[in-house]
Amino acid sequence: SLEARLWWHRNAPRARELAKTGARVRGIVADLTSADDVARAAREALGGSDAPLHALVAAAGGFAMSGPVAESDLAVWNRMFAIGLTTAYLATRAFLPALRRGRGSIVYFGAAAALPGARIANMSAYVAAKAGVLALMQAVAQEERDNGVRANAIAPTMIRTAQNVSEMGADKNYVERESVADAVRWLCSDAARDVTGQTIRLGA
């Protein structure tokens, strides 16, 4: 059976929906940009200092256009780094001891926009943060290989969500959420036991 422990801010209804599928779900409220809050949430999620962890999915984030760099707002830059990169770093640091015990897998959410050749004008803050996530993934993969911890990332284009469809229309070439879930599930599974340090692009 599947057991998931989720951190949420506004996603309690989604967690309840997941529980209806038969999965064991436990929600933990935390500010993932706060080192103290993440450390507390990690202790609560693990329920014991020696508990192993088999998978960590670092999916927190958000998107905002920042405009041309010359005219951009530092507050947008700081916000994109806080929610897109700092959250991944703090979660990784907090859970690595348990991941080592469980010889676990970390999956980071990057973005296709952070890959070479992408059109990134007017969204430098978002893309720079996501590029940082991919660099963090590479560093963790190299540092933790001998500890049995794998680290990989997915880099989707636009994911079909209610917010994206509302803001950008329904006629875009979206990546379906099921495709994202399938990629994450595979990277967390034993089928990907020899895969680490890789970024999987999703979408056309």
Question: Residue 94 falls within a domain, yes or no?
Answer: yes
Question: Residue 7 falls within a domain, yes or no?
Answer: no
Question: Model pTM?
Answer: 0.90
pLDDT value at 199 more than 60: yes
Residue 168 is part of a domain; what is its CATH number? Answer: 3.40.50.720
User: CA 141, 144, 150: angle at the middle one, nearest 5?
Assistant: 55
pLDDT value at 127 more than 50: yes
pLDDT value at 112 more than 60: yes
- Where is pLDDT greater, at 42 or 11? 42
Give the C-alpha separation, 30 to 176, whole Å: 27
Question: Residue 45 falls within a domain, yes or no?
Answer: no
Question: Residue 3 falls within a domain, yes or no?
Answer: no
Using 50, 70 and 90 to split pLDDT, how confident is the model at 58? Answer: very high
Question: Residue 36 falls within a domain, yes or no?
Answer: no
- Where is pLDDT greater, at 163 or 1? 163
Q: Average pLDDT, stretch 35-44?
A: 94
> Which pLDDT score, from 0 to 100, does residue 121 have?
98
Question: Residue 92 falls within a domain, yes or no?
Answer: yes
Question: Residue 44 falls within a domain, yes or no?
Answer: no
> Which pLDDT score, from 0 to 100, does residue 94 have?
97
Give the C-alpha separation, 113 to 156, whole Å: 8
Tens digits of per-residue pLDDT, 158-190? 899 888 888 889 988 899 999 999 999 999 999
Give the C-alpha separation, 27 to 12, whole Å: 7
What domain range includes position 130?
A: 53-202
Pairing type for strands 150-156 and 199-202 reads: parallel
Domain count along the chain: 1
> Which pLDDT score, from 0 to 100, does residue 7 have?
53
> Which pLDDT score, from 0 to 100, does residue 1 have?
40
| Helix ranges (DSSP H) in 31-86 | 35-46, 74-81
Quickly count: other Cβ atoms within 10 Å of residue 186's Cβ: 15
Using 50, 70 and 90 to split pLDDT, how confident is the model at 4? Answer: low
**Within its chain, how far is the Cα of 96 from the centroid?**
15
E strand or H helix that includes residue 158? none
Question: Residue 133 falls within a domain, yes or no?
Answer: yes
> Which pLDDT score, from 0 to 100, does residue 10 have?
56
pLDDT value at 5 more than 90: no
